[in-house]
Each structure stands twice: as structure tokens, then as C-alpha cells.
Amino acid sequence: MDNARIADRLDAFAALLELADSNPYTVRAYRRAAEVIRATPVPVAELVASGRARRLRGIGPSIDARLRELVETGDIAELAELERRLAPSLVGLGRYLGLGAKRSVEIAQALGVRTADELRAAAAAGELRSVPGIGPKTEAQILAGLAREAEPLPRRALLLNQALELVGGIAAALGGEPAGDVRRWRDACERLAVVCAADDPAALLERFAGLPQIVALVEQSERRAVGVTVEGVPVELVAAEPGGFGTALVRATGSAAYVAALEPLPEAAEEEAVYRALGVPFCPPELRERPFREKPPPLVAEADVRGDLHCHTTWTDGRATVEEMGRAARDRGYEYIAICDHTPAVGAVPGLTPDDVRRQGEEIAAANEALAPFRVLRGIECDILPDGRLDLPDDVLAELDWVQASVHGGQRMPRREMTKRVEAALRHPAVSCLSHPTGRLITRRPENALDLEHIFAVALEHGVALEVNGLPARLDLSGEHVRDALRAGLRIVCSTDAHSVRGLGNMTLAVHTARRGGATAADVVNTMPWHRE
């Protein structure tokens, strides 16, 4: 049994434990163990057999026992029992149709069906009405969903990092390319698609249906299928003729408006060939949100980035020390990193007092000695108080290399007050950059009421940069706002707001969000060497 298969079974176990309302810590422990096993270079089955599996990070005695059972018997008995009882394919299909997990299982039990296909047949035969609690409205909703009367979209958009993981995992398993919203790096993804070149589409569709991520197919034709995850999220698979792979990839990448404006598309095996045949310059997927036929600007690339200007440490709510963050940034090939911990007004965690800032400065100086010529910059993520003042005295701020100004509390202020509050901070001579300017949390909290056009003008006047925050739930500025900021003459900073070494990886999301706004390397402050002394 190879590592991928072992990890898949642990992931499946975690998903079912979650459905069965198990302890969330247990669920997370299994997910983490799966992740570790997937990344382990040696065969985990051998480690298990020789009693050495517990040397792997995150494998405790209970997971070790499950691994032993899996390697020795080929499966985990409790997992097989949960699969029988909970019918993940029905749960996935039910969620896709807008039903809760428990409700899906209840309906399946009432109808005596065990698979998604049986549910479909029972629904078609009009049996849903016999289930207690299902009225004509719910029946109509389920039948409409099963009949696929609309584009298969999730009920709630996925954050980009979740969508990347899901679609990327499926594409890698099938040897295909991620497409849909993910490939355009949309901040909230709805259309999830994978395109594969297939001489034998039937075999490919079968492999797709057998993936651990996919619990049921809701649509299937010769060269296309739509599967759902146990969360009910639909993923489309396109099994392209090898000679038409490029064309299929353009179509599945979208957006619909962009593709419609290019039609009719010629058949080609590669995407570049489609563009050549059209006589249109190749268009990076990030710029395919609306019709575009011109020569694209040379968009910023992740390799252009020389430093990260917003990260946290154990001084506030980060998980790594100053030196660990510095070392990790250096290992990524950066030249500098700015440590920007919180100030007291942030509330959720204890922020740095002026005293703390100076003591942290000593730690940063020591890290600089250890890591030279790499530079660890003294920064701060300073709260903008409701009246527009900053949360640290001027003399402390003046000592720092880089000051991010942030609105955290009191985000429901009326537009005029919020705009005045942020404007006052931008006029402060110490401020270098406005963090997560709109304050939105994708799918959870709308943008703050803020006159961005005015804020952009003030930022330009005072030489303040605007952040593109790479936290998956923020991506703030959005690509759309980046475009407006650049048009206003501003420069942006691609930052991660990392709270751990791993968080530095969100630079990918920040850079691709900037690319959606048409940013080139010259527009991005942290593609430049650190110059200020």
C-alpha cells in the first residue's frame, strides 16, 4: 500500500468522523496525519510494519493503531462501517442539492436507498413525497437539482486556497490541468473544473469517480462529468480529445464573457496554438475576467518578489519567533522581511507597548547579526484608532523601518467617518502602507464603508503604498481595486500577513491577486531591493 493510498484512507476517515459529529480535534489529527504521510519520502507501510511510524510528526498511539490495521488488513473496519452507515455519496449529493448531512441520511433511510443513483431513481418515481417532512417545495428543489437545470455551482463560493487544494489535487491525480475560477485566481471560486487530454475518456471518468475527493457523480456524458465532494461541492471534469486539449482548456478556464468574445475557437492541442490561430496575443488567465484581445502588460511574477513586508511573530499572535520568520524568508530567497506585530488596540491579542517595541528591536538586531546580509526590518502593524490617531507614540513609530496602518475594530463606521479616520492615518509621516484597505472577509464580511477614490488620492499625496494582503479570506485589495489603485498612480505591496512560517506561502495568492489588477513588477514595492537606512 503506497503513501498516497494510506493518506487517502485517513482523509476519508476524517471526513466521515466529521459527518458523525466526532471530536473536531480527532478529525484534524487524522487530516494532519494524512498530510504528513503524503509528504513522507519513504514508504510509510514499511515504517508501520517495523513499528517506526510514530517517529513521524503527528502520529500518536491511536493513529498508529489505525495505520497498523490499514496496512495489515487493507482497510480500517470502523471506516468501512461508517461508510456503510453514513453513505458519503448520498451526503455529498444531498448537500449539493441544499440538504444538510443528517437530513440526507434520514431521507435515504426513509426511502431505503444506498447510493446516489438509487436516490435519483426513487426521486424520479415520485417517492420523495412519501418521506416525512418533505413537502412539494423541497421535492421540487431536489428534482430541479437532480435534473441539472442550472450550471453546477457550489451553494457558497470556496476561498481560493480551498479551491486550489481541491482542484489542484484532482488535476494532479488525473494528470490534467486545473481550470475554471481557480486558474484565473478568483478570490471566491464557484466554477471548479479540471481538463484532461484523454484517448480513452471512459477510463478517465472512472478514475475521476473513484477519487477520494469525489463521492458521487451528478452528471455524466461521454467526455464530461460533474462530481461532488462530501461537502456537496461540484467539480467538473472535461475529458478532451488530445487534439483539442488547448481549446477545451481555454473554454473551461473562462470566464464565460471572455470566451464568448473570442468565439469561434479553433481546435488546437495547446492553448498557445489557439491564440496563434486566432491572431490574438496570449492572455494570462488572470486577465480573462472580461473580453481582452490586446497585448497584455508584463505582469509581476512571484520570482520578482524580494521581501515580505507584513508578518507576525510570537510577540503577538504569530507562531514563530523573529529569527525563525527571518530564516524562513531567507530560505525562500528573499532579501528582507518586516516584522509587523500588533499594537494594543487590536484587542483580540495583547499588542506591543512602546516598551515591547524597543525590546523586540533588540531581538531583531540579534536576528540581523545571525542572518546577515539578509535584513530583518523593524516594522509594526499599528492600529488606526477610531479618531484616526495611531496606537503608538510618534517617537516610537519614528524609530521603525516600516509601518503598516490597519483598521481592526469599529469597522461598521459610517462612510464619512471611516474615510476621515483612514485619511488621518495616511497623513501621519511614519506610515508606509495601508493594510487590508477595505477590511472585507471573503464570503463573511463586506468591505468597510470607505471612499477608496479619496483614500487613493491621499495615499498618493503622502507616498503611502496600498497592501494586497495575501490571507486567503482577505485578498485585500482585490484585483479590481488594484486596477483602480494603479490607475490612480499608486504602488502596491504584496504581503502575506503570515502568522507562521507556512503563512509566508500566501505570497502566491497576493501576487496573483495583483496580477488580476494588471500589476507589473514596477508597480510592486517589494520587488525592489530594500533601500532605506
The region of 133-141, 232-240, 274-282, 401-409 touching Zn ion under the rule CB under 5 A is 401-409
| Site size for Zn ion (CB under 5 A) | 3
Find the shortest distance in angstroms from Cβ 404 to Zn ion. 7
Largest CA-CA distance found in the chain, in angstroms, rounded: 76
Q: How far apart are CA 391 and CA 408, in angstroms?
A: 12
Find the shortest distance in angstroms from Cβ 12 to Zn ion. 36
- Helical ranges in 263-344 per DSSP H: 271-278, 322-331
Find the shortest distance in angstroms from Cβ 436 to Zn ion. 6
Q: How far apart are CA 162 and CA 105, in angstroms?
A: 26
Residue 495: Cβ within 10 Å count:
29
Find the shortest distance in angstroms from Cβ 148 to Zn ion. 42
The region of 219-227, 240-248, 380-388, 508-516 touching Zn ion under the rule CB under 5 A is 380-388
Find the shortest distance in angstroms from Cβ 435 to Zn ion. 5
Taking the least distance from each CB to Zn ion, the nearer of 215 and 471 is 471
**DSSP letter at 390?**
B
Q: How far apart are CA 359 and CA 374, in angstroms?
A: 21
Find the shortest distance in angstroms from Cβ 14 to Zn ion. 30
* Residue from 190, 182, 199, 203 nearest 156 by CA: 190
Interface pick for Zn ion out of 11, 18, 381, 391 (rule CB under 5 A) = 381
Task: List binders of Zn ion among 453-492 (CB under 5 A).
Answer: none
Q: Is 383 in the site for Zn ion (CB under 5 A)?
A: no
**DSSP letter at 115?**
S
Helices and strands (H and E) in the chain: how many:
22, 14
Q: Where are the beta strands (DSSP E) in 298-442?
A: 307-311, 336-339, 375-383, 402-406, 433-434
The region of 42-50, 82-90, 317-325, 374-382 touching Zn ion under the rule CB under 5 A is 374-382
Taking the least distance from each CB to Zn ion, the nearer of 31 and 378 is 378
Find the shortest distance in angstroms from Cβ 328 to Zn ion. 16
Q: Is 497 in the site for Zn ion (CB under 5 A)?
A: yes
Taking the least distance from each CB to Zn ion, the nearer of 107 and 340 is 340
Pairing of β 216-221 and β 307-311? unpaired
Q: How far apart are CA 430 and CA 164, in angstroms?
A: 37
Find the shortest distance in angstroms from Cβ 346 to Zn ion. 7
Interface pick for Zn ion out of 406, 438, 448, 478 (rule CB under 5 A) = 406
Taking the least distance from each CB to Zn ion, the nearer of 226 and 509 is 509
Taking the least distance from each CB to Zn ion, the nearer of 181 and 467 is 467
* Residue from 494, 432, 484 nearest 463 by CA: 432
Q: Is 423 in the site for Zn ion (CB under 5 A)?
A: no
Task: List binders of Zn ion among 195-254 (CB under 5 A).
Answer: none
Could you give the 3-state DSSP secondary structure of residue 175?
coil
Q: How far apart are CA 238 and CA 152, in angstroms?
A: 14
Interface positions with Zn ion (CB under 5 A): 381, 406, 497
